[in-house]
């Protein structure tokens, strides 16, 4: 995967977890930006659940 263009995958398990935690579209957008910055800083990326 190209780290410069990350893809955020939310499935039927992870989407409800994210939506329960984030109240607004702005919160969701900030969450994705945060995840993107984390990906940029990591030497490699592995899959983990939103609960992690």
Are 51 and 21 a contacting pair, CB within 8 Å?
A: no
CA distance 45 to 23: 27
The domain total for the chain is 1
| Predicted local confidence at residue 49, as pLDDT | 64
> Global pTM?
0.65
| Predicted local confidence at residue 22, as pLDDT | 92
Q: What residues make up the domain containing 1?
A: 1-52
Under-70 pLDDT residues of the chain: 1-3, 45-52
């Amino acid at each position: 995967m190209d780290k410069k263009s990350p893809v955020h995958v939310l499935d039927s398990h992870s989407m409800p977890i994210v939506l329960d935690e984030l109240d607004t579209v702005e919160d969701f957008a900030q969450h994705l930006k945060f995840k993107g910055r984390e990906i940029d800083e990591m030497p490699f990326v592995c899959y983990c659940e939103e609960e992690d």
